[in-house]
Amino acid sequence: MAPAALLLFAIPLSTAYRSEHASRSLISRSAFLPSFSLSAAGHSRNAARPHRLGAAPSGGPSTVTAVLDEVKPKEPKEPEPEFEVAEAAGKRMPEVLQEEKPATIELRRVKTADPTVFTPDTTESMRGKLYAASAIGGSAGLLAGSIAGGEQAPVLALVFAAVATIEATRNTGAGGKLREAGGAVVSAIDAVRQQVTSRGYDEGLLGAGKSFFLWLDEYLKKNDIDTSFTKQLIKRQGELLNDYLFSPTHKAFTAISEAAVARVGPTDPARYYRSSFPPFYERVTVLRTMGDGVHFLEQPLLIGGVSFGLRSVVIELNSSRDLMVINPVAPTRELIKLVNSLRGTVKAIVVPNTSPEHQPYVQEFLDRCPGAKVYASRLPRDDSYRVDELLSEEAPPMWKGVIEQAVLDGSASFREVVFFHKPSKSLIVTDFCAMVDDAYIAEQNYVDSVVTENTAMILGLYNQTGLLVDRVLTSYPLRNKGFIQRLLSWPFARIVPAHGVAPIKGDASYVRSLLQQCGAVDGGDRRPSGVSSSINVDVEPLKDAVQRSIFGKEEGRKTEKDKNVTKAGKKEEPVVKAAK
């Protein structure tokens, strides 16, 4: 049965490469490697630019045109973002996110695709991706069946291949990742074929095979062995396989690909952004104003069904409305319009945390504000964006006197800088703490709400503020003693984290109580290193969550913690107003 199972998902790949034309079009026409002209003011990632500390861009927003080595087919013109334009002469135009200018210098390099621009697949490229997705699903099914005992392996291989193919035609995050994986497989196979062809290996293998069969035919003739019937049988079987298997499969995948090309695409181009973190393609951006020159740019973040969101804090530093952006989020066209509505100039892009979900949008954001300086807690490991200045305990001159900061130092893979904004009395953090409440859960769809609610309960974040860095504090107490003292000396009245709800009402005494729970300050319940104090081991809240998820919110048993939530740690509803 194993050979039969292998055939089930080997058919798509074998069918995909029966046509040389189909295989050659997969790289140049892939939706994830689109062919269109870019300008380096917005997309100069592969161009020579400084990555070292303190190496600022030379001469401001230079423009570069990326030119491919091969002739490209004419592509449809990219839709232009809706940028603000000065209406009268002498009116200062916002420099927040600048429009890309015509190219003036040409470099021959491989282009980097604009993640905000969607380029549809061709039928041939989509078909190749679906073939590969089917093979990937079939392989997973065969592996699962083999682990389960082997008897169901062919059936599971067929089911998994069908499910993977169908999901790859859908406009979902999982479908997008399957298409990406399929495109990578096809591109790898095509690259191997090109290498084989360029080095003449294909002709050598073909010649060797031809010589072998000629020798075998002569040997059989010398020994008076008639092979005519065998040859006719093999030819007939090949025709039957082509007529009843390969050709119908090819036609079916072609029809599915045509439907998928028409279906797959952004429902709102202004919210499209091709990201390595889910949601992979479309995300809503909400601008909220807290007051005292503090604004929030909020986008969804979904990992493993858990939706904790992603928040960028924008601060007006002075009367001229110089803007400081902390933890930049994906610069979609919708976000560009929202930031331009603030009528300021982005002067500082701050990356205060080393966690991976806060890194991928920095360069794209910087490309749209080339005059801004980048401040980071550490240099990026992959050299994906330049850093002009490393953050320390002393605030840079740009925001000195308005914002104070402190450094939470962990292992080689974690470091976070927290800020105290004096005018709003806000403690601005990234992953220091978080909270998820009932209103936040209610905004999610049913599946995400159940997973997020239960995860928040396990982490101690449900309707209460929970520390996310307690292990860092208990593992490196001496190194962070100054950080805690500085943090507790600030007269803040609210906390603004990068995930969950914000702002959270809480002052230094409230944060001290959180630190005492993990033993980070004297008088706390110190736990062994590596044991998180935020994890709630009480099973009653989990039972209550299961009951609510099955029978509804009104049927769940309310715990005393749910009924009597202290004022400190609650979300400040009246302070934040949604921007329309």
d(C-alpha 312, C-alpha 296), whole Å: 6
Q: Is residue 478 part of a domain?
A: yes
Q: Kindly state whether residues 245 and 393 are assigned to the same domain.
A: no
d(C-alpha 390, C-alpha 415), whole Å: 12
d(C-alpha 212, C-alpha 217), whole Å: 9
d(C-alpha 377, C-alpha 357), whole Å: 15
DSSP track, 125-168:
HHHHHHHHHHHHHHHHHHHHHHHHTSTTHHHHHHHHHHHHHHHH
User: φ and ψ at 195, to 5 degrees?
Assistant: -65, -45
Q: What is the pLDDT of residue 92?
A: 37
d(C-alpha 495, C-alpha 431), whole Å: 12
> Which amino acid appears at position 501 of this protein?
V
User: φ and ψ at 494, to 5 degrees?
Assistant: -150, 160
User: Tokens in use for 260?
Assistant: 């998928």
Q: Is residue 11 part of a domain?
A: yes
d(C-alpha 433, C-alpha 418), whole Å: 11
pLDDT in tens, 43-78: 333 333 444 444 444 334 332 223 223 333 444 444
> Residue 201's domain spans which residues?
2-31+120-263
Contact between residue 395 and residue 321 where contact means Cβ atoms under 8 Å apart? no
| CA-to-CA dists, residue 192 to 143, 185, 313, angstroms | 25, 11, 46
Q: Degrees (nearest 5) of the Cα angle 377, 378, 384?
A: 120
Q: What is the pLDDT of residue 238?
A: 87
Q: Which residue has the tokens 């945390």?
A: 353
CB-CB neighbours of 258 under 10 Å:
13
Contact between residue 124 and residue 133 where contact means Cβ atoms under 8 Å apart? no
Q: Is residue 172 part of a domain?
A: yes
- First CA to last CA distance, the chain: 61
Q: Kindly state whether residues 388 and 480 are assigned to the same domain.
A: yes
- Looking at 228, 248, 263, which one is the last position of a domain? 263
Least Cα distance to 126 among 12, 37, 38, 276 occurs for 12
Q: Kindly state whether residues 236 and 308 are assigned to the same domain.
A: no
DSSP track, 414-427:
-EEEEEEETTTTEE
CB-CB neighbours of 309 under 10 Å:
23
Q: Kindly state whether residues 158 and 296 are assigned to the same domain.
A: no
Look at the chain and report how many structural domains it folds into: 2
Q: What is the CATH number of the domain that holds 393?
A: 3.60.15.10
Q: Is residue 374 part of a domain?
A: yes
Q: What is the pLDDT of residue 571?
A: 62
Q: Kindly state whether residues 136 and 251 are assigned to the same domain.
A: yes
d(C-alpha 556, C-alpha 540), whole Å: 11
Q: What is the pLDDT of residue 554?
A: 42
Q: Which residue has the tokens 């002209």?
A: 37
Contact between residue 434 and residue 468 where contact means Cβ atoms under 8 Å apart? yes
- Looking at 228, 263, 298, which one is the last position of a domain? 263
Q: Is residue 238 part of a domain?
A: yes
Q: Kindly state whether residues 253 and 291 are assigned to the same domain.
A: no
Contact between residue 413 and residue 407 where contact means Cβ atoms under 8 Å apart? no
pLDDT in tens, 357-369: 999 999 999 999 9
Q: Kindly state whether residues 323 and 257 are assigned to the same domain.
A: no
Q: What is the pLDDT of residue 56?
A: 43
d(C-alpha 123, C-alpha 30), whole Å: 10
Q: Kindly state whether residues 375 and 482 are assigned to the same domain.
A: yes
Least Cα distance to 341 among 373, 314, 311, 361 occurs for 314
Contact between residue 145 and residue 153 where contact means Cβ atoms under 8 Å apart? yes
Contact between residue 461 and residue 436 where contact means Cβ atoms under 8 Å apart? yes
d(C-alpha 525, C-alpha 533), whole Å: 9
Q: Kindly state whether residues 496 and 539 are assigned to the same domain.
A: yes
Q: Is residue 422 part of a domain?
A: yes
d(C-alpha 409, C-alpha 534), whole Å: 19
| CA-to-CA dists, residue 398 to 52, 347, 379, 569, angstroms | 21, 9, 20, 31
Q: Is residue 26 part of a domain?
A: yes
Task: Provide the whole-model pTM.
Answer: 0.64
User: φ and ψ at 323, to 5 degrees?
Assistant: -105, 140
Q: Kindly state whether residues 308 and 432 are assigned to the same domain.
A: yes
Q: Kindly state whether residues 420 and 333 are assigned to the same domain.
A: yes
Torsion region of 161: left, alpha or beta (phi above 0 gives left; psi -120 to 50 gives alpha) = alpha
d(C-alpha 271, C-alpha 331), whole Å: 9
Q: Kindly state whether residues 251 and 293 are assigned to the same domain.
A: no
* pLDDT (tens place) for every residue of the chain, 580 residues total: 444 444 444 445 444 444 433 333 333 333 333 332 323 333 333 333 444 444 444 334 332 223 223 333 444 444 444 333 333 333 333 444 444 433 333 333 334 578 888 888 888 989 999 999 999 999 998 898 888 877 788 888 899 999 999 988 887 777 877 888 888 888 888 888 888 888 777 777 888 888 888 888 888 888 878 878 888 888 888 888 888 888 888 898 999 999 888 888 888 899 999 887 888 788 999 999 999 999 999 999 988 778 999 999 999 998 888 999 999 999 999 999 999 999 999 999 999 999 999 999 999 999 999 899 999 999 998 889 999 999 999 999 999 999 999 999 987 889 999 999 999 999 999 999 999 999 999 998 888 899 999 999 999 999 999 999 999 999 999 999 999 999 999 999 999 999 999 999 999 999 999 999 888 887 544 443 333 333 343 444 444 554 554 444 444 434 343 433 344 565 665 444 444 4
Q: Is residue 302 part of a domain?
A: yes
Q: What is the pLDDT of residue 21?
A: 39
Q: What is the pLDDT of residue 546?
A: 47
